Amino acid sequence: MTTSASVPAGSGSATVDRDTVTDRLVDANEQYANAFVDPGMDARPVLRVAVVACMDARLDLHAALGLELGDCHTVRNAGGVVTDDVIRSLTVSQRALGTRSVVLIHHTNCGLESLTEEFRHELEMEVGQRPAWAVEAFRDVDQDVRQSMQRVRTSPFLPHTDDVRGFVFDVKTGLLREIDPA
Ligand SMILES: [Zn+2]
């Protein structure tokens, strides 16, 4: 394992080696800001929808769902799991910022499929402390989406739970497959 955060050197640029990945992002932001025009939006998502999805790098939510800037709230974590903190975000999203619909997106070939709750035990053995959080590993992605829908629908904090739909994104085809909540 390497501890270097350097971006792999490109073809010939002498400065690339010194730049960390974060430097590269900051440079990209400068370009972005140069072309940026204030869209004059407020914080309430135009489509009144919150999307909860896995953090997976292969899932480009805006492109995959035809979303534009300002359209939705995006809540992402490992697995797209509906944790207490996701409920916190959804509660703020619905009660303070006007969203009405929730879309849950898990995906094929998720990193969480290769873990078990044993991961917590291994962490405890290594660092001497067991994490307070569950790993939320799973074997059956369809069932995991159903469980996530159930957690949203049964949350006492969310006033809008009649439009909650769950999907599995196929990282090979780019296509969503809807999961029957039953
Ligand atoms: Zn994933």
Summarize the confidence of residues 123-129 as an average pLDDT.
Answer: 94
Q: What tens digit of pLDDT does each residue of 106-121 get?
A: 999 999 999 888 899 9
CA R_g for the chain = 19
Q: What is the whole-number distance in angstroms between the Cα of residue 76 and the centre of ligand 1?
A: 10
Beta bridge partners of 177: 168
Per-residue pLDDT, 101: 98
Residue 61 scores a pLDDT above 70: yes
Per-residue pLDDT, 16: 52
Q: What is the whole-number distance in angstroms between the Cα of residue 47 and the centre of ligand 1?
A: 25
Per-residue pLDDT, 73: 98
Spatial separation of the C-alpha atoms in residues 9 and 56, rounded to whole Å:
24
Q: What is the whole-number distance in angstroms between the Cα of residue 138 and the centre of ligand 1?
A: 11
Residue 6 scores a pLDDT above 80: no
Q: What is the whole-number distance in angstroms between the Cα of residue 158 and the centre of ligand 1?
A: 25
Distance of CA 60 to the CA centre of its chain: 10
Spatial separation of the C-alpha atoms in residues 101 and 160, rounded to whole Å:
7
Residue 179 scores a pLDDT above 80: yes
Per-residue pLDDT, 3: 47
Q: What tens digit of pLDDT does each residue of 16-56 get?
A: 566 899 999 999 999 999 999 999 999 999 999 999 999 99
Q: What is the whole-number distance in angstroms between the Cα of residue 17 and the centre of ligand 1?
A: 31
At 118 the three-state DSSP class reads: helix
Q: What is the whole-number distance in angstroms between the Cα of residue 172 and the centre of ligand 1?
A: 14
Per-residue pLDDT, 116: 87
| CATH class of the domain defined by 49-179 | alpha beta
Cβ atoms of 155 and 87 within 8 Å: the answer is yes
Spatial separation of the C-alpha atoms in residues 80 and 107, rounded to whole Å:
9
